[in-house]
Amino acid sequence: MARADSLSYPLLANASATGPQVQIRGGIYCLTVNGTLTGATLQLQMLQPDGVTWSPVSDVSVPATPLQITAAPGTLTRIYLPAGSVRLALTAGTISATNAWLVGIG
């Protein structure tokens, strides 16, 4: 059984660029985004144990497919993550006044 985390972690706040590193407890999550995305792709990323390299988080049902949001408002559910650091990275296009949260399903 997966670890439960009932906290909400802000990943973007009125943002126009990649968000900061955020420490999470680990568990099952929902990612929700609102704001203005102009041809934008927001990708959930996890910091690898080397403390330097960011890698995309993949969809558990489609391995090697990065979790991405391309429209807002938007929500992705059932994201399994270990304890560690995550961020929401802008990998294409532009965003403005964009907010995002990783919400524990616990």
What does residue 21 show for φ and ψ, rounded to 5 degrees? -70, 130
Give the model confidence (pLDDT) of 38-72 as tens digits: 999 999 999 999 999 999 999 877 778 899 999 99
pLDDT digits (tens, 9 = 90+) for 85-99: 999 999 999 999 999
* CA–CA separation, 55 and 65 (whole Å): 12
What topology does CATH give the domain 8-104? Answer: Jelly Rolls (2.60.120)
